[in-house]
């Protein structure tokens, strides 16, 4: 399949082309039945000759070209309607009736606060142009009215509040929110690209509109990505403040699969300046080695790394409810545990050459011993709860008197 993407250098175009090229190069195996042979990337700096050739050969067209903020309002129609006419005329010239997707906007509903705006009017005109083209030629037309989009590579200080907020928060710039209660409907770029790849296979989702609300229906005139998020500006800012504080708190906010928080966190990270990509961790160092907390979570505990010098024993304590995994990743050591009130000791010889996880059981005093005379013992430690100095749940007691 040969695919033409217009507006290939824009936010959506870059993300779509990256995924299409990954499919073409055999790097994405999620769509085994989707064969991409060529990706034609067309943008404002492309030539008319290139557009002519692409329209002659394309098996599917994604028309993402458009104007959002021109200096002259009249350029809305020129950029959104004019190019669409040129594209369709070129397809007709070559009698190419391949499916064509149009990226429109929810502002094309022309109701409420959008009524009479030249951007919305140009988008609405473009939609009708495509529907008329379908009637005339019999070509399949897919018209998507996008809500607010966000994700990596979205241009800040342009037409996305999320991009602006992420960029400014990541770069220590001020943000302005006049009304935190304002709610946005947001579509994450990965969810949009997944929908567009589904459309390539004839599995697009159809919809109608109840005002500006999308109503999915198999008989709908329009198309839509089925998964969007409705969040307030205040909620967005609150999450971004948590993300920004993570290098200090080490707390990873809750980011469930499919959640807005997960998508926003990935988006925020994509705006970090290079000096913030890495950050120092507090190493608690003493003659025995070091202990460093890596990450924490409000509900599922924390991960730390422990380094023991040659011949050193650490631990010699027990917990009531707290439990841990000890995972030796370098060196050679031994883990010992003894159930309180008994003399029976269970032992595990551990090594970075054979990585395994060992439970530290509640009610068992335990230790970890570096058996090497020359090498450090490096252990990744997971604990089911974050350390609370007011309630440490840690009580000293040797595993055996010979240690």
The pLDDT value recorded for residue 30 is 87
CATH architecture for the domain at 2-146: 3-Layer(aba) Sandwich (3.40)
**All CATH 2.60.120.10 domain ranges in the chain, comma separated:** 283-396
Q: Give yes or no for residue 359 having a pLDDT over 80.
A: yes
CATH code, 283-396? 2.60.120.10
Detail the DSSP E strand segments found in 198-312. 206-210, 213-216, 222-223, 229-232, 251-252, 283-286, 289-297, 301-308
**Which ranges of 138-259 does DSSP label H, i.e. alpha helix?**
161-170, 189-200, 233-249
The pLDDT value recorded for residue 112 is 47
Tens digit of pLDDT for each residue in 104-126? 887 766 654 455 566 667 777 88
144 is catalytic: no
Q: Give 31's pLDDT tier (boundaries 50, 70, 90).
A: confident
Tens digit of pLDDT for each residue in 137-151? 999 999 999 999 999
Percent of the chain whose pLDDT exceeds 70: 92
Q: Give 81's pLDDT tier (boundaries 50, 70, 90).
A: low
Higher-confidence residue: 75 or 126? 126
**All CATH 3.40.50.720 domain ranges in the chain, comma separated:** 2-146
Is the whole model's pTM more than 0.85, yes or no? yes
The pLDDT value recorded for residue 185 is 94
Q: How many CB atoms neighbour CB 244 within 10 A?
A: 17
What lies within 8 Å, CB to CB, of 288 at 6+ separation is: 308, 309, 312, 314
* Active-site residue (options: 119, 133, 222, 265): 119
């Amino acid at each position: 399949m040969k695919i033409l993407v217009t507006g290939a250098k824009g936010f959506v175009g870059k993300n779509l082309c990256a995924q299409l090229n990954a499919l073409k190069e055999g790097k994405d195996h999620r769509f085994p039945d989707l064969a991409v042979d060529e990706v034609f990337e067309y943008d404002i700096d492309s030539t008319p000759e290139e557009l002519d050739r692409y329209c002659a050969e394309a098996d599917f067209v994604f028309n993402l070209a458009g104007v959002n903020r021109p200096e002259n309002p009249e350029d809305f129609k020129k950029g959104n309607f004019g190019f669409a006419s040129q594209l369709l005329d070129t397809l007709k010239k070559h009698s190419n009736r391949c499916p064509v997707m149009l990226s429109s906007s929810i502002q094309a509903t022309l109701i409420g606060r959008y009524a009479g705006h030249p951007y919305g009017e140009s988008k609405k005109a473009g939609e009708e142009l495509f529907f008329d083209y379908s009637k005339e030629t019999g070509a399949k037309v897919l018209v998507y009215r996008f809500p607010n989009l966000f994700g990596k590579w979205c241009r800040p200080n342009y037409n996305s509040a999320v991009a602006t907020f992420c960029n400014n928060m990541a770069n220590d710039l001020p943000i302005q929110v006049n009304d935190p209660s304002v709610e946005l409907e947001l579509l994450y770029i990965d969810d949009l690209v997944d929908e567009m790849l589904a459309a390539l296979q004839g599995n697009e989702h159809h919809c109608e509109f109840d005002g500006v609300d999308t109503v999915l229906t198999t008989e709908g005139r329009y198309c839509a990505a089925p998964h969007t998020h409705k969040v307030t500006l205040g909620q967005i800012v609150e999450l971004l403040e948590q993300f920004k504080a993570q290098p200090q708190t080490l707390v990873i906010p809750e980011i469930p699969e499919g959640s807005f928080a997960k998508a926003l966190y990935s988006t925020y990270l994509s705006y970090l300046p290079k000096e913030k990509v890495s950050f120092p961790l507090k190493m608690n160092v003493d003659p025995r080695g070091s202990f460093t907390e890596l990450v924490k979570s409000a509900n599922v505990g924390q991960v730390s790394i422990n380094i023991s010098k040659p011949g050193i024993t650490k631990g010699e304590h027990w917990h009531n409810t707290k439990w841990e995994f000890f995972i030796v990743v370098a060196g050679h050591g031994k883990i010992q545990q003894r159930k309180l009130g008994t003399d029976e000791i269970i032992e595990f010889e551990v090594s970075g050459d054979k990585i395994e996880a060992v439970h530290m059981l509640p009610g068992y005093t335990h230790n970890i011993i570096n058996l090497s005379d020359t090498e450090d013992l490096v252990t990744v430690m997971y604990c089911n709860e974050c350390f609370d100095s007011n309630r440490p749940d840690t009580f000293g007691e040797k595993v055996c008197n010979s240690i």
